[in-house]
């Protein structure tokens, strides 16, 4: 089994690409196959080396690795050889029509009530006419002559599928400047690299019909190739993700503080009826089953992703995250605050609150309460029972209870109106800092 993920380095990896990458990787790892990274970079104008670097970085961040890496720009001679083969068999034919001519012809067909298909006029050119066109300095581009048939396959996700090639215009495979197009290069690579499974977005279904026809024309046996098309993602409101949230790049999510285990766990379960569980790809692979992905479009729900992110942080052992925590962070502190975090970056303020220095707000009108609280602070050593030992008598003495008592204390001790359990935090903050903060917050 051999799979590949084939991004075009014309932009940053977005969640739709990442889902395809993950599905291919999981499928390969689950079945002991090989996974290749293939950069579809034949569009020289739009492909940028910095995007290729970013894509690889983002894939690694999500926990993916690959057994080989190829760039199409390094294989141009292979495509030229394959093109010659198709020319020799008459399946690749030169065309000279300009964009304007084609647009005019399409418009005419539309007026006649016919589908705007290419009419194959170029196929009718005699060798003489072709000679003349070339002699006049015209550069041909090349179309592939689709076979007059339907192409069918059993899709791993969509089930039985079929594409009617007679309803499609012969695709251009080579531009007038000689550069090959993705429709073609992808087939040459899949064939020559012995790719066995192609998992990609549903937007490629028509391509699959075309590409299987090219694959056969190049001598490949279509039985060696299995396809799985992942239904497209929609955003929170059901709109096409590519339009509204297409900009959700992995970079962007990472910067926003999404953990890779949350994203991978979320994407692996997306479109299935199983609840997502956080996990890095290696942990998800044993349970991967592509047949669980439904035919329907899947909703990319940022709230669900965030909920999963919270779970990752709440369950994260100290040792795993140590490098990303503020310097000096210790396990006791981490265990006390992790349950309060949505995103990792929220850890820093809690570090300052517990281990560092903060200036709490002066609470007008609470001076009396806070001064009483200061006077009642028990002597150290402090532990988990200190909070109750301190606030119990304070309730009696001040007649305050519930929020009226705890909110001013919380604000004074942490500077925040919400946060981890104060009984846990208090002994970590310690008597000296607690006393200082009560005094400052009392305005004394």
- Give me the residues that bind ligand GLU (CB under 6 A), please: 6-8, 40, 182, 186, 198, 200, 204
254 contacts 232 by C-beta, under 8 angstroms: no
Least Å from the CB of residue 305 to ligand GLU: 22
- Cβ–Cβ < 8 Å for 276, 265: yes
| Bridge-based pairing state of the strands 68-71 and 92-95 | unpaired
Nearer to ligand GLU, 181 or 329 (CB): 181
Closer residue to ligand GLU in complex, CB, 57/396 = 57
Q: Report the distance separating Cα 236 and Cα 415, nearest Å.
A: 35
Name the residue nearer to ligand GLU (CB basis): 86 or 188.
Answer: 188
Q: State in angstroms the smallest separation of the CB of 256 from ligand GLU.
A: 24
Q: Among residues 40 and 155, whose Cβ is nearest to ligand GLU?
A: 40
243 is in an annotated binding site: yes
Least Cα distance to 10 among 232, 182, 141, 234 occurs for 182
Q: Is 124 helix (H, G, I), strand (E, B) or coil?
A: helix
DSSP string for residues in 206-243: HHHHHHHHHHHHTT--GGG-EEEEEPPEE-TTSSBHHH
> 15 CB contacts (<8 Å, ≥6 apart)?
233, 241, 245, 248, 249, 250, 253, 263, 267, 300
Phi first, then psi: give them for residue 5, nearest 5 degrees: -115, 130
Rounded CA-CA distance 411/366 in Å is 11
Question: For ligand GLU, which is the closer residue by CB, 186 or 386?
Answer: 186
Number of H helices, E strands in the chain: 20, 12
Q: Cβ 310 to ligand GLU, closest distance in Å?
A: 32
Cβ proximity to ligand GLU, 184 vs 350, nearer residue: 184
What minimum distance in Å lies between the beta carbon of 33 and ligand GLU?
16
In whole angstroms, the minimum distance from the beta carbon of 192 to ligand GLU comes to 14
| Per-position DSSP letters for 79-100, written without gaps between them | HHHHHHHHHHTT-EEEE---HH
CB of 214 to ligand GLU, least distance (A): 12
- Positions at the binding site for ATP: 243
């Amino acid at each position: 089994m051999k799979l590949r993920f084939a991004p075009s380095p014309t932009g940053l990896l977005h969640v739709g690409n990442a889902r395809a990458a993950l599905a291919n990787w999981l499928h390969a790892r689950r079945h002991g196959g090989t996974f290749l990274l293939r950069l579809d970079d034949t569009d020289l104008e739009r492909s940028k080396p910095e995007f290729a670097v970013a894509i690889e970085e983002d894939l690694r961040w999500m926990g993916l690795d690959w057994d080989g890496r190829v760039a199409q720009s390094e294989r141009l001679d292979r495509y030229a050889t394959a093109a010659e083969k198709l020319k020799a068999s008459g399946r690749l034919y030169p065309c000279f029509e300009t964009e304007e001519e084609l647009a005019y012809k399409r418009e005419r067909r539309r007026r006649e009530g016919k589908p705007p298909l290419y009419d194959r006029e170029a196929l009718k050119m005699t060798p003489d006419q072709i000679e003349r066109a070339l002699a006049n300095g015209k550069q041909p581009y090349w179309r592939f002559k689709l076979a007059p048939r339907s192409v069918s396959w059993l899709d791993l996700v969509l089930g039985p599928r079929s594409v009617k090639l007679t309803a499609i215009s012969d695709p251009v495979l080579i531009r007038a400047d000689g550069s090959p197009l993705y429709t073609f290069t992808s087939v040459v690579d899949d064939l020559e690299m012995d790719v066995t499974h192609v998992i990609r977005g549903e937007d490629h279904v028509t391509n699959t019909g075309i590409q299987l026809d090219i694959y056969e024309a190049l001598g490949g046996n279509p039985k060696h190739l299995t396809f799985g098309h992942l239904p497209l993602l929609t955003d929170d409101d059901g709109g096409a993700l590519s339009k509204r949230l297409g900009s959700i790049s992995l970079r962007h999510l990472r910067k926003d503080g999404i953990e890779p285990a949350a994203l991978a766990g979320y994407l692996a379960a997306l479109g299935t009826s199983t609840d997502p569980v956080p996990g890095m790809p290696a942990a998800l692979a044993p349970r991967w089953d592509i047949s669980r992905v439904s035919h329907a479009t899947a909703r990319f729900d940022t709230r669900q992703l965030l909920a999963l992110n919270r779970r990752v942080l709440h369950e994260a052992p100290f040792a795993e995250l140590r490098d990303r925590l503020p310097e000096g962070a210790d396990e006791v502190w981490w265990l006390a605050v992790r349950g309060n975090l949505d995103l990792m970056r929220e850890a820093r303020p809690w570090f300052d609150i517990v281990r560092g220095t903060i200036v709490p707000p002066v609470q007008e009108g609470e001076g009396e309460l806070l001064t009483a609280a200061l006077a009642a602070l028990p002597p150290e050593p402090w532990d988990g029972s200190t909070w109750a030992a301190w606030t119990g008598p304070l309730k009696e003495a001040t007649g305050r209870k519930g929020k009226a008592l705890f909110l001013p204390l919380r604000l004074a001790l942490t500077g925040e109106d919400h946060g981890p359990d104060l009984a846990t935090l208090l002994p970590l903050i310690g008597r000296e800092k607690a006393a200082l903060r009560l005094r400052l917050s009392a305005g004394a």
